[in-house]
């Protein structure tokens, strides 16, 4: 499909009139070595924060502190196991036990 250069120019002109000059210029033209250096520095700082993140040892496994919700106790009161399963979250919140223990001990009472 061959594009008509007059049509492309007309569309570009209409976009410029409606949304402003910044919408039709090439973003690469606004990028320079100073912005590149600043962007790289921000990436390095962000990476340092991620690496610095605290980890907690739980049964010989290191887990990021962000993944542990301090409001929810993820240990089942019946079998005393720590649950990584997201499906068990409802059972742990409401009944303080995992789904398996709920079915065995609580359901049908």
Dihedral sign, Cα of residue 83, residue 89, residue 90, residue 96: positive
Per-domain residue ranges for the chain? 1-52, 66-109
Q: Does the structure show a pLDDT above 60 at 1?
A: no
C-alpha distances (whole Å) from 105 to each of 35, 94, 98, 99, 109 are 62, 14, 10, 10, 8
> 97-109, pLDDT tens digit by residue?
888 888 888 887 6
Closest Cα partner for 91 from 69, 75, 67?
75
pTM value > 0.85: no
Provide the mean pLDDT of the chain: 81
Instruction: Provide the pLDDT confidence category of residue 19 given band limits of 50, 70 and 90.
Output: very high
Mean pLDDT value of segment 1-7: 78
- Rounded to whole angstroms, the Cα distance separating 77 from 80 reads 5
6-10, 48-52, 71-75, 80-84 — most confident range: 6-10
Q: Does the structure show a pLDDT above 90 at 13?
A: yes
pLDDT of res. 53: 66
Q: Does the structure show a pLDDT above 60 at 70?
A: no
> 65 or 72: whose pLDDT is higher?
65
């Amino acid at each position: 499909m061959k594009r008509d250069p007059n049509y492309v120019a007309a569309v570009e002109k209409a976009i410029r009139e409606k949304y402003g000059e910044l919408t039709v210029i090439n973003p690469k033209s606004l990028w320079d070595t100073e912005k590149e250096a600043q962007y790289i520095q921000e990436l390095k700082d962000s990476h340092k924060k991620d690496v610095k993140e605290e980890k907690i040892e739980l049964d010989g496994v290191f887990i990021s502190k962000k993944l542990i919700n301090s409001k929810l106790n993820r240990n089942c009161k019946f079998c005393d196991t720590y649950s990584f399963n997201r499906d068990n979250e409802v059972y742990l919140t409401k009944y303080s036990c995992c789904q398996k223990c709920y079915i065995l001990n609580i359901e049908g009472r």
